[in-house]
Structure 1
């Protein structure tokens, strides 16, 4: 799935520093879902105050016994 995040340079940098993203699954059987980021691209607005991170997300499945 392809997603976009918008934020300041600090917020986008924090997302880019991590290869995985954890999401709380409130209405999902698993309380926390993990996603791997790939094909990341970052663009900025002409004024440099807001940045857009676009990335592919792939859910990381936990293997049996882990």
Structure 2
């Protein structure tokens, strides 16, 4: 799945530093799903105030996560 995040330099840096992202799902689905980012690209917003991070997400299954 391809996603985009818009944010400040600090917000985008926080996302890039995390190896796994947790996303909250709808009430009747899985409540929390973990994803790993890959094929990440960061560009500046045409208006100059925000950055855009585009990345592919792949679901991480519980047995794949190391503690």
Structure 2 match to 1:19: 19
Structure 1 match to 2:34: 34
Cα deviation for residue 45 of structure 1 reads 2.6
Deviations 1:6-65 (A, max 9, x none): 01111101100111110112321x3211000001000003553210000000011224xx
Across the two proteins, how many residue pairs are aligned to each other?
Answer: 62
Q: Structure 2: 5+ residue runs without aligned partners?
A: none
Compare the two structures and name the one with the higher helix fraction.
2
**TM-score, reference length from structure 2:** 0.80
- SS for the counterpart of 1:43 is strand
Cα deviation for residue 3 of structure 1 reads 0.4
**TM-score, reference length from structure 1:** 0.81
Root-mean-square deviation (CA), in Å?
1.5
Structure 1 runs (4+) deviating above 3 angstroms are none
